Amino acid sequence: MIMASSPRNVFLQGGNTTEFSEPVLKLRRLPFSAPLGSPYIKAADRPRAPISCSAVADKMPATVGGALDSNSLTTRRLMTQTFIDQAELMTVSSTGKFGRFGGKFVPETLISCLSKLEAEFILALHDENFQEELATALRDYVGRESPLYFAKRLTDYYKNSEGKGPEIYLKREDLVHTGAHKINNAIAQAMLAKRIGRKRIVAATGAGQHGVATAAACAKLSLECTIFMGSADVGRQGANVLLIKNLGAQVKVVDGSFKDAMSEAIRNWVGDLETSYFLSGTAVGPHPCPTIVREFQSVIGKETRKQAEEKWGGKPDVLVACVGSGSNALGMFHEFIRDEDVRLIGVEAAGVGLDSGAHSATLARGDVGVYHGSMSYLLQDEEGQIIGPHSIGVGLEYPGVSPELSFLKDNGRAEFYAVTDDEALDAYRRLCQLEGIFPALEASHALAYLEKLCPGLEDGAKVVVNCSGRGDKDAATVYKHNEERV
């Protein structure tokens, strides 16, 4: 059922609704052709750093081999193909549609602003200076690469009576600066904002991790920063509110939760398009926001591929990530979408239970609709009004979800499941006590799914769980629930 929801605080429908019916895997193999007038064409007119030979070498089939001569016809053809591949990987279409999902459902006045942003984003991606600065920031400021950690005791815990079971690895995004994957995207987008001359950053946060990451990036780059946060979340994630303020950002409290903070942040940005930049923390919103976030988070999957190759000389068999709105899941999955032998598993929040009405399982229980400028699965009632989400993992509470994940659900490339608050709390404690690692409650949802996943896997299967953040912020919540249960 397609429902075009129109609650208050939501961007109006309209804009470009062109749809592409081809599955993404097929589209990516077609020659790239940008529609006339698209930002791709405009971007192509401007000077662009050449794609390096090493980028081309990565794409070459193993059988080609040999050193690359940048003047040879074969190399130039490969370079052209690499640009095509990169452009296609960046986005499915210039309107940002993933099948029927995504798009730019915004008032006309915003279209040109979003198109300019897309063009600048593509230029930055092909600018060697920008890429070099970003690589330095990711290494020296963020602390990448994050380790791929073999969780020996967790692995032992899931062995069957014959001592067999999968091997479990954690991608340690909890170890990066500010304690979650959010910084990968925040620092990159803050650099993009600075590059295009914006002075002021506006962002919304739920769990506070994106708020802290954005405030830190803004301090480093000398940008003014305003973070919108829902009143319900300010109480639950108080430590992060203090950090955001200490980092020099302004916190604006909005009645409600993350979705309300997001609406208010977008409204604030729209009121000052010339100097402000809306720094989206997750892969939702109008195109190109989901693509920008996905692209800047894809470092997670790229590192995972390299580290798996180094550790066991192969690929992971299964990737598991929690799904709030989609940025850590896509950050890990995107690199592997074409590797059909790698299972992609997203875990949503079933809250108090999928039938309780108090959950955030948008892909499991939502209907298609439009919210915050794009089409995706959405928690909504019969009249298209938003149903407030619930999860013990505050960062999972959003009624929509990434359009790209919505598409991966529909075409069956990724699998999605949901775990309850209690299951996530158990997983938090399990990781604390078996590995001495305290995961964010959001990431605990991905860990909780191991209970159902592991018994069905082959001996020695390599499972990588995205430990998307650290759980200091959740220690009191977990402790309190523990006390109440005893």
Ligand X SMILES: Cc1ncc(COP(=O)(O)O)c(C=O)c1O
- Nearest CA among 293, 292, 218 for reference residue 248: 218
Closest separation between CB of residue 292 and ligand X, Å? 13
Q: Counting contacts by CB under 6 A, is residue 469 touching ligand X?
A: yes
Residue closer to ligand X (CB basis): 218 or 322: 322
Whether residue 145 is preceded by a cis peptide bond, meaning omega within 30 degrees of 0, is: yes
Residue closer to ligand X (CB basis): 232 or 323: 323
Closest separation between CB of residue 380 and ligand X, Å? 19
Question: DSSP letter string over 349-402?
Answer: EEET-TTSS----HHHH-EEEEETTEEEEE-B-TTSPBPPP--SSGGG--SB--
User: Contact with ligand X (CB under 6 A): which of 264, 317, 421, 442?
Assistant: 442
Residue closer to ligand X (CB basis): 99 or 400: 400
User: Contact with ligand X (CB under 6 A): which of 176, 207, 249, 392?
Assistant: 207
Residue closer to ligand X (CB basis): 155 or 360: 360
Closest separation between CB of residue 39 and ligand X, Å? 25
The answer to whether 423 and 348 are in contact (CB under 8 A) is no
Between residue 291 and residue 330, which ones bind ligand X under the rule CB under 6 A? 322-328
Interface mask (CB under 6 A) for ligand X, residues 172-201, using x and -?
--------x---------------------
Cα distances (angstroms) measured from residue 84 to each of 74, 77, 137, 280, 333: 15, 11, 27, 26, 21
**77 bridge partner residues:** none
| Stretch near ligand X under the rule CB under 6 A, chosen from 48-56, 108-116, 140-148, 437-445 | 437-445
- Please state, in angstroms and rounded to a whole number, the distance separating the CA atoms of residues 35 and 65: 35
Residue closer to ligand X (CB basis): 43 or 202: 202
Closest separation between CB of residue 467 and ligand X, Å? 9
Closest separation between CB of residue 414 and ligand X, Å? 13
363 contacts: CB under 8 Å, gap ≥ 6: 323, 346, 348, 377, 401, 405, 406, 409, 416
Closest separation between CB of residue 302 and ligand X, Å? 17
Closest separation between CB of residue 109 and ligand X, Å? 28
User: Contact with ligand X (CB under 6 A): which of 468, 477, 478, 481?
Assistant: 468
Burial of residue 356 (CB within 10 Å: 0-12, 13-18, 19+) is exposed
Unique residue bearing structure tokens 């994106």: 210
Total residues in contact with ligand X, by rule CB under 6 A: 20
Closest separation between CB of residue 468 and ligand X, Å? 3
Helix, strand, coil share (%) of the chain residues, nearest 5: 45, 15, 35
- Please state, in angstroms and rounded to a whole number, the distance separating the CA atoms of residues 274 and 96: 23
Interface mask (CB under 6 A) for ligand X, residues 378-397, using x and -?
-----------------xx-
Radius of gyration in angstroms for the set of CA atoms belonging to the chain, rounded to a whole number: 21
CB atoms within 10 A of CB 29: 11
Interface mask (CB under 6 A) for ligand X, residues 267-286, using x and -?
---------------x----
Question: DSSP letter string over 142-159?
Answer: I-PSPPEEE-HHHHHHT-
The answer to whether 110 and 286 are in contact (CB under 8 A) is yes
**325 bridge partner residues:** none
- Please state, in angstroms and rounded to a whole number, the distance separating the CA atoms of residues 266 and 199: 16
Closest separation between CB of residue 211 and ligand X, Å? 9
- Please state, in angstroms and rounded to a whole number, the distance separating the CA atoms of residues 208 and 244: 8
Residue closer to ligand X (CB basis): 118 or 174: 174
Residue closer to ligand X (CB basis): 376 or 468: 468
Closest separation between CB of residue 155 and ligand X, Å? 23
Interface mask (CB under 6 A) for ligand X, residues 209-238, using x and -?
xx----------------------------
- Please state, in angstroms and rounded to a whole number, the distance separating the CA atoms of residues 430 and 156: 13
Residue closer to ligand X (CB basis): 126 or 445: 445
Residue closer to ligand X (CB basis): 283 or 375: 283
DSSP state of 287: T
Closest separation between CB of residue 41 and ligand X, Å? 31
Residue closer to ligand X (CB basis): 437 or 443: 443
Interacting residues toward ligand X by CB under 6 A? 180, 206-207, 209-210, 282, 322-328, 395-396, 440, 442-443, 468-469
